[in-house]
Each structure stands twice: as C-alpha cells, then as structure tokens.
Amino acid sequence: MDTHWDVHAVAVVSSLGEMIGTGSFPATAVGYRELLTWARGLGTVRRAGLEGTGSYGAGLCRYLLAQQVEVFEVNRPDRSERRRRGKPDAADAQNAVRAVLSGRARARAKAGDGPVQIARMFKLAKDSAVKARSQAINQLKAVLVTADPVLREELAGLNTPALIRTCARLADNDEDGGGGDAVLQATRITLRLLARRVEQLTGQIQDLERHLARLVERHAPQLLAPVGIGPDTAVTLLITMGDNPERLGGEASFAALCGVSPVEHSSGSRHYRRLNRGGDRQANAALHRIVQTRLRFDPRTRDYYERRTKEGKTRREIVRCLKRYVAREVFNLVRPSPS
C-alpha cells in the first residue's frame, strides 16, 4: 500500500505473485473499512505491506492490526528504480506488496495503540518545548548584547535562572515616544516577554516530565531499577521498541535497531568490526547516556572498563561493547524470555 495524506493506493497480490487487483481509497475511517472489505472480496487477507506506517499510514496500520492483519513496514523504492520506471501510486503499491511476499520487508509495524504511543506524543511535545525554550533564552541573551549599558550592567553577573526571573519582572512604563528612552523601553518589554515565554515553556516541560514519569512507573517500572536509567531515557527506549515488542525477533534485533550491533568490516586477511552508524539515533544516544552514567557511578562498569583497557581496547570500543550489553539488558527487562 502506498499511503498519502488524503488517499491510499492499494494492490492485491496472490501468494504466487499474481496481480489480482488495484484500487485507491480515501484516508478516512470509512475509507479504511472500504479498503479492507474490497481486499477481502478478492480473497483472504493475511499480510499487508505499508509505506509510512509512522506517518501517513499510521491510521490505516492501526486499523489493519485491529482487524488481525499482519502489517509490515516497507521502505520506499530505490531512487534509481524510480528514475527508470517512474512513480505511479499503483506501481508503488505493487512494489510494497511484493516486498512483503518476497521477504525483503520483514520489519513488523508498531501497533501505536497503547501507552508507548501516549509517551511518544508527550515526548514530542516536550522536545519541541525544550527546543523553543533554548531558542528563547538565546534570543534574550542576544538582546542584552545590544541593550543600553545601564540595563546591561543591571543584569550583569546573573546566572541564567536568575536572569530569567529578573527580566520577567522588568517594569513597563508604556512610553511610545521617540529617542533613546523609547528604545530602552522596547528593550525592556522584549526582555520581559522573552523571559515570560521561557517560564511558560519551563512549566510545560515540567508538566510533561511528570506525565512521562507516571507512564513509565505505571507500565514499565522495571526499567527504572538499573543504574543510569531515568524516566526520559526509559521513554526513549520504549518508543523505539513500540507497543508490541514481540515484533522484534530477539535482543540482537533490538541492538541493531538501536545502532549498537557491530558491523563486519573485514577485507582480505584483515578482520575488523566497526561501529554501526545506522539505527535509531535517539535510542543510540539514550544507551550512550546510560553507559556514561555507569562509567561514573557503577563499580561493575568501572571494573569492566579497566579490565578491557588492560587488554588493549580503546575507550570507543569499550563504550560500544557496553552499549551492546545495555541494549540486551533493556530488551530482557521489557520483553522477558519465555524461560
């Protein structure tokens, strides 16, 4: 299925690869029902391949999973193939279903209908607020650079929190006349507005952090027990795993998804493994923060670091190994083995 903002293109292929039919349906709740009814009218629907299960196809993906259809994430076609054959929606839909049929598309889609999806929404709002707050703080300090020397000296020496509090309380004389006093007044108004914006965003960030912490404590409290894993890091790793962690084949799949699995880079008589530069980089950064925290506060991790250093390993190689171990630990905490 080739998904778009307002319409989805669909192709149905038999298990032997025979094209049965193609169609297009609106990206609405009614359109989803019509799509599945039409497809089931052509035969039994067992699997579906979707482009954009996390964007345009998210709603359709959730609907199909609720109807007991196995959904696989399909990457967009190769650019060279698109240049050679063009890009009609029907062709993209056929490529998606054939990718599932051939086994090239094996990544099962995230369910997106549970607490992890809720955490993803809160995390999205929090990251946006953090970015906007940093921008507002930088703008406030940039205004101070060109401010009147008297005002600049008045605010000199204050750290960032004290500067924000002081600027938020600056008086407004409502002078609109010309001259230097009017420029000074405009500067004070601008500083006050930016400071209050920072305070408002800080309140939003703290509120969202409380929501995220409650979600983790309610649905995955075991993640908070190990050293170095806090609510924010736990949320990032849970988002990577999704609401249906059983879609991952094992802890090696999760490690590859986080970009901490070693990649074979041997050539000839030289055998070497390099760092994995792929995967979810936010999850990779979360694992990196866990390792750095443990290197500072966890005695077992420090002992391991010293032992591998004596073996001739570099810090970069040791951190890569530790990130791989942490990925295994997190996976087994979220999805315990049947034994």
Report pLDDT digits (tens) over 237-253.
999 988 888 888 888 88
Residue 339 is predicted with a pLDDT of: 47
Average pLDDT (105-129) is 88
Q: Which DSSP string do the residues of 139-154 spell out, in sequence order? A: HHHHHHHTS-HHHHHH
Domain assignment present for 290: yes
Selected residue with higher pLDDT from 18 and 142:
142
pLDDT at residue 95 above 90?
Answer: no
Q: Is residue 226 part of a domain?
A: no
pLDDT at 173: 61
Which whole number is the average pLDDT over 103-114? 78
Report, as an integer, the average pLDDT of 93-121.
82
Of 220, 246, 273, the residue at which a domain comes to its end is: 220
Percent of the chain clearing pLDDT 70 (strictly above): 92
Q: Using one digit for the tens of pLDDT, what is the confidence trace for 280-290?
A: 899 999 999 99
Whether 267 is covered by a domain: the verdict is: yes
Domain boundaries, position 159: 115-220
Same structural domain, 123 and 166:
yes
Residue 210 has pLDDT above 60, yes or no: yes
Alpha helices in 179-314 (DSSP H): 180-219, 231-241, 251-257, 281-297, 299-310
* Sign of the torsion formed by the C-alpha atoms of 301, 306, 307 and 308: positive
Structure confidence at residue 172 as a pLDDT band (50, 70, 90): low
For the ranges 96-100, 253-257, 271-275, the one whose mean pLDDT is highest? 253-257
CA distances (Å), 118 to each of 187, 216, 245, 257, in order?
41, 11, 16, 21
93: alpha, beta or left, given left = phi > 0 and alpha = psi -120 to 50? alpha
Q: Which of 41-55, 109-123, 262-276 has the lowest mean pLDDT?
A: 262-276
Q: Which of 174, 166, 158 is nearest to 194 (CA)?
A: 166
Q: Report if residue 110 sits inside a domain.
A: no
**For residue 258, is pLDDT > 80?**
yes
| Chain CA centroid to CA 204, Å | 20
* pTM for the predicted model, two decimal places: 0.79
14-37 burial, b at 16+ Cβ within 10 Å, e below that, comes to eeeeeeeebbbbebeeebbeebbe
Given 75, 102, 129, which residue is the final one in a domain?
102
Residue 311 located in a structural domain: yes
Q: What letter does residue 75 receive in the DSSP assignment? A: P
49 occurs within a structural domain: yes
Same structural domain for residues 205 and 135? yes
Are residue 43 and residue 91 in the same domain, yes or no? yes
Q: pLDDT-derived band of residue 14, with 50, 70 and 90 as boundaries?
A: confident
For residue 326, pLDDT over 90 is answered with yes
Residues 21 and 41 in one domain: yes
- 3-class SS of residue 74: strand
Host H or E run for residue 8: strand 7-13
Q: Is the pLDDT of residue 273 over 80?
A: no
Q: Which residue has the higher pLDDT, 89 or 134?
A: 134
Question: Does 170 have pLDDT greater than 60?
Answer: yes
State the total domains in the chain: 3
pLDDT of residue 218: 93
Residue 21 pairs in a beta bridge with 12
The SS3 call for residue 86 is coil
Q: Which one of 67, 102, 137 terminates a domain? A: 102
Amino acid in the structure at residue 325: Y
The pLDDT assigned to 32 comes to: 92
Considering all CA atoms of the chain, what is the largest pairwise distance in Å, rounded to the nearest integer? 82
With both helix axes pointing from N to C terminus, report the angle between 115-145 and 231-241 in degrees, rounded to the nearest 10.
130
Helical segments of 57-179, H only: 58-66, 79-85, 89-102, 115-145, 149-155, 160-168
Query: Is the same domain home to 285 and 196?
Result: no
If asked whether residues 136 and 202 sit together in one domain, one would say yes
Mean pLDDT of 103-117: 81
| 278 DSSP β-pair partners | none
